[in-house]
A and B are shown apart, each in its own frame.
Chain A
Amino acid sequence: MNIARKLSSILPYQNARKSLYRKFRFSATNCDTSAKTQPQVQEEKFDFEDLKVLERVERRKAKISPFMKDVFISIFNRDLLAYPEIINKEEMAALENRIAALEKVFCDTSKTQNDRRDILRQTGMYGAPTNLTNGGLAMNYTESLRYLDVISTDQELGQEISDHWVSLNVLKRGLNENDYQKLINDLTSGEETIKICVREKVPERLLQADFRTTAEMDGKGIWHINGEKICINATGYLLVLCLVEDTRFKAFLVHPGAKGINSEKNFVHFRNTPATPLDEMTEESLSQALAASRLYTATLCRNSLNKSMQACIEYIKPRFFSGRPLSQISTIRAVIGDTLLKLYASESVEYFTAGLLDGYLEPDAELEVAMCRNFIANHAQKQLLKLLAIPGLEMQGQCLELLEEMRLLSLRGENVDNINMYIALNGIHHAGKTMATEIKQIRNPLFHPSFIFKKLISDRHQEKDAPKLTLYLSEHLHPSLKQSAEQLEYCVLRMRYICETLMGRHGQDVAAAFTELTRLAEAATEILAMTAVLARASRSYCIGLRNAELEMKLAACFVDKSKERVQKLLLEVSDGEYLNLDHFRIHFGKKVLDSNSTLVEKPTERVFW
């Protein structure tokens, strides 16, 4: 395979003329494409016929090909370097009003949870995603993130309402019109929220399938659910995912007080519980709708980290060390700065992804959504430990609370490994479709000698870890971000080569190369984060937001660090399991698991005296 790698040009010289011209031009004045990415001021056009229509106006752009999936084959949609702008002026004003109302209650520590619930009801948060005609706010994802930023001051409510929103979206698509209308008033009143029950216990027996909750229809046409689910507070409506006919997934709505529900601690048991089926929904649209919970988890995680940072700052401010304020110690400043960097990056990614979901028709952004969750879950836990090392052993109670909160959030719904696999496998699936013939040739080099030689020549820069930068991303960003743009470009360009290496090495078995896929997923996640950060900073600076110059610095720092991580991860993937020591790690793990002990003798042991 490596011979194959050494010897083809897949990228033909279609850009030759253009890139030559790019090299020798001395100004950006005649740059053709950058105009598109400049912040746009749209003129509001009043269509008087629209005024009668109560629903929100469709402003979404035409469908685009999936962004991050394309990055796996080193195709980068440069238009997305213009940070998405979804909300218009009137919507912004309404949004600000509601947020102000929410903030008033949520930021006031003297208010109780009931007060908070009341304000959520008053501002219509419980019915926010439903249509205007149904008394909702027709909230889109970008808006929901803004609301959630405030609501998540109370994590419990934050989790509750985000699940509720996701479920409402599922119900909207899944129920037929009549049933939906019957239920909707009850659901949006906020008396009862909807909980999501998807996850199940890991099987404890060999011949047990990984997913076991089933639903069956009895003679009268009523569906009954049997099984067990993980769900922390199972009251109110429950949205339960079940197996139908052994292989198909279908979601069901269980009404509050239905018979046969038995909940203890984190688990809910269903025994012949009657439920309403969500018939109108295909498995694919179900997964799309439910995946939004990942986006909300990311936001909750980020806000939890933010809260920890604030707690830490509260601790630092009134304290002194060696006669100087604690806040002047540079290591402490560095940790706080680092946290800000992570928060900034995560926030950028989330709103960027929400923009993708809101801004285009038929969005295929599941990968991006998963990456948001992955990014913050990965970084927040590490960062939190560093943050909480500042107060040391003081503030024991609060620290434990914050840690537990973060642990629960980063395991919410699924763990990081599952998401990593989801990201990597989807990416590699997409890459596999485009590169199938090429991989076949690489894996059978002797049948395709001329191809191999071509490949050898075309990949020579990749072999040296110095790909030719041919995407010209910097043209779409503020000129002072040129260096960062090039770093991003490098990472994007490496992706195709790495996917090729991986598939060349494992063929179809690549789905089982878990450790390598995890690295690939992490690298891809970082690339999305870099893109979002650069786009956001560039936008802020160009339109002159407050502290925009700080954003530029944040972006540059983040991209610089991130590029190093990506470079390392991708190099490790291309090195293979022996050089990146995976083979040995796996072997050690196997040994320990097989022997039920730690294997190594104590350092005081001897064989002889």
Chain B
Amino acid sequence: MNVNNILKNIIRSRTANVFFKRWKSSEKELATYDPFLAKPKKNKETYLEVIKMFEERDTRRRGHVEFIYAALSRMKEFGVQKDLEVYKALIDVLPKGKFIPTNIFQAEFLHYPKQQQCAVDLLEQMEDNKVMPDSEMEQMLLNIYGRRGIPLRKFWRMMYWMPKFKNLSPWYLPEKLPTDTLELAKLAIQRITSVDPDTKIDIWQTEEIEASLDKTWVVSAQSRVQQVLLSEQPIDEPLTIKGPFNIYLNDQVVTYFILLGKIRPEYKDDTDLDDVSNIQKPPGIPGVIGRVTLPQVKSTVHEQDDGTIVAVCATGTSSRDSLLSWIRLLESHNNPLLANIPVIFTLIAPPTDVSLFDTQQDVNETKEENVNSTN
């Protein structure tokens, strides 16, 4: 073997080795010691503590990329995936100034690719969790990767789009949803009934009805128009309760029920639009406006194809008995006609007597159990 060959070999193998190692080490599970796992209490303080420990352990902070990946994957566990401060603390792990390209070639050809990719992934996770970065983060990224770094560009794009997407929904929700199901149900019903701004939302307790078995709350919504529509219901035509339907508030689900009444006939219009020879004109008597008689046709937003929605509710247990109590409560609140009209329950799924609140707690409990078992 001549010298040339040896040299070639060494160069090739070294470069290959270097690149291989670089790319190979970007595998996320390479962290050997997981300090997160050892923490008995999982909350924000302990999470930040771990990060601090990592920073103090070694001035060179070897393996910081791996550490960040490991930290990212543990966020949900600690319940900090929505916390901007935590993301900032993670970014802060990266050294300042070292990754900033100093010439055009470095700037163009992805200087420190793994480190850049790591920051991009972190930003991606923030985006997935709907956490909006702030200008301090921009400053940090600028100090770490420089003006031409990919993470900063990602940051800018996020800052353009995220505020727009954040407010896209016409049914605005508070940033932190309440944990109480009653409050949650109230929010849901408010959003459902926003079609009619006149709607009044009441919270009743089924205890008011003596015969009720389920002692729970009822969030009921009815507008004045709906009351009138209900009072127009003929006594021999039964009302129907339909449900349960699901409505999602972010990741929470609330079930609700609707009370359907009869449909008024569709407005039929067979006038020839092109014929203007006899356009209607108002009576000329000063002070007389509008119509003397009202047409008995569909005219409100509550009148849908499958029926007229006369009331909406969500109850604490979603059980048949609580719905019965709801009807009785409606009757006692300005809908006297309900005493005489039969009501049919057409519930799609068999009503489980497990309350909404309970199910949620169950889910939480099972989750905790899972976590414990992994520990």
Contacts and interface: CB of A to CB of B under 8 A. Distances in A.
B279 A428 contact: yes
A198 interface: yes
B279 A607 contact: no
A422 B284 contact: yes
Interface stretch (B129-137, B249-257, B340-348): B129-137
B294 interface: yes
Interface string B277-288: 111111111111
A416 interface: no
Contacts of B228: 205-207
B283 A249 contact: yes
Interface string B215-235: 000000000110011001000
B276 A198 contact: no
B274 A443 contact: yes
Range class of the B interface residue count: 35 or more
Interface in B147-175: 159, 162-163, 166-167
Given A421-B282, A607-B166, A508 B275 contact: yes
Given A206-B300, A207-B232, A608-B159, A439 B274 contact: yes
Given A198-B285, A287-B284, A414-B286, A444 B274 contact: yes
Nearest to A421: B282
Nearest to A595: B197
Given A243-B292, A507-B274, A432 B279 contact: yes
A199 interface: yes
Nearest to A597: B197
The SS class assigned to the B binding surface is: loop
A407 to B, nearest CB: 17
Interface string A495-528: 0000000010001111100000000000000000
A596 interface: yes
Given A425-B279, A433-B278, A508-B275, A209 B286 contact: no
A377 B289 CA distance: 18
Interface in A325-370: 366
A211 B197 CA distance: 26
Given A206-B225, A209-B292, A432-B278, A607 B163 contact: yes
A507 B276 contact: yes
B272 interface: yes
Nearest to B170: A595
B337 to A, nearest CB: 14
Contact of A510 (B197, B224, B279, B286): B279
Given A246-B292, A287-B284, A511 B274 contact: no
**Considering residues A208, A419, A509, which has the most beta carbons from chain B within 10 angstroms of its beta carbon?**
A509
Interface residues of A, number: 55
B276 A432 contact: yes
Interface in A408-460: 413-414, 418-419, 421-422, 425-426, 428-429, 432-433, 435-436, 439-440, 443-444
A291 B276 contact: no
A148 interface: no
Interface in A249-301: 249, 283-284, 286-288, 290-291, 293-294
Given A418-B289, A608-B135, A426 B197 contact: no
Nearest to A417: B289
Given A205-B228, A508-B276, A609 B284 contact: no
A314 interface: no
Interface in B94-135: 132-135
A246 B280 CA distance: 19
B273 interface: yes
A509 B289 contact: no
A594 interface: yes
B263 to A, nearest CB: 16
* Residue from B167, B286, B288, B294 whose CB has the most chain A CB atoms within 10 Å: B286
Given A287-B285, A291-B284, A425-B279, A207 B134 contact: no
Contacts of B229: 206
Contacts of B232: 207
Contacts of A414: 286-287, 289
Contacts of B294: 207-209
Contacts of A14: none
B290 interface: yes
Given A207-B232, A509-B273, A607-B132, A596 B197 contact: yes
Given A439-B276, A443-B274, A511-B279, A199 B292 contact: no
A593 interface: yes
A128 interface: no
Given A210-B289, A607-B132, A287 B197 contact: no
A294 B286 contact: yes
B288 A198 contact: yes
A15 interface: no
A533 interface: no
Nearest to A243: B292
Contacts of A422: 281-282, 284
Contacts of B285: 198, 241, 249, 283, 286-287, 290-291
B282 A425 contact: yes
Nearest to B137: A608
B261 to A, nearest CB: 14
A74 B162 CA distance: 57
Contact of B293 (A209, A439, A593, A608): A209
Interface in A537-570: none
Given A287-B284, A425-B281, A608-B163, A507 B273 contact: yes
B5 interface: no
Nearest to A212: B292
B352 interface: no
Contacts of B194: 594-595
Contacts of A293: 286
Contacts of A211: 288, 290-292
A247 interface: yes
B271 interface: yes
A426 B283 contact: no
A204 B194 CA distance: 21
Given A211-B292, A426-B281, A435 B286 contact: no
Contacts of B281: 422, 425-426, 429
Given A443-B274, A593-B197, A249 B288 contact: yes
Contact of A508 (B163, B271, B292): B271
B60 to A, nearest CB: 33
Contacts of A241: 285, 287-288
A246 B293 CA distance: 7
B336 to A, nearest CB: 16
A247 B275 CA distance: 26
Contacts of A432: 276-279
Nearest to B283: A287
B265 to A, nearest CB: 15
Given A243-B292, A247-B292, A436 B277 contact: yes
B192 to A, nearest CB: 14
A234 to B, nearest CB: 15
A433 B163 CA distance: 56
Interface of A: 198-199, 205-211, 241, 243, 246-247, 249, 283-284, 286-288, 290-291, 293-294, 366, 413-414, 418-419, 421-422, 425-426, 428-429, 432-433, 435-436, 439-440, 443-444, 503, 507-511, 593-596, 607-609
28 contacts: A198-B286, A205-B228, A207-B232, A209-B294, A210-B290, A211-B288, A211-B291, A249-B283, A283-B285, A286-B285, A425-B282, A428-B279, A429-B279, A429-B281, A432-B276, A432-B278, A433-B277, A507-B276, A508-B273, A510-B279, A596-B197, A607-B132, A607-B162, A607-B163, A607-B166, A608-B133, A608-B163, A609-B136
Given A418-B289, A422-B284, 11 more contacts: A205-B224, A207-B294, A209-B290, A211-B292, A247-B293, A425-B281, A429-B281, A439-B276, A508-B276, A607-B132, A609-B134
- The 7 lowest CB-CB distance pairs between A and B, nearest first, are A210-B290, A436-B277, A287-B284, A198-B287, A507-B273, A199-B287, A432-B276
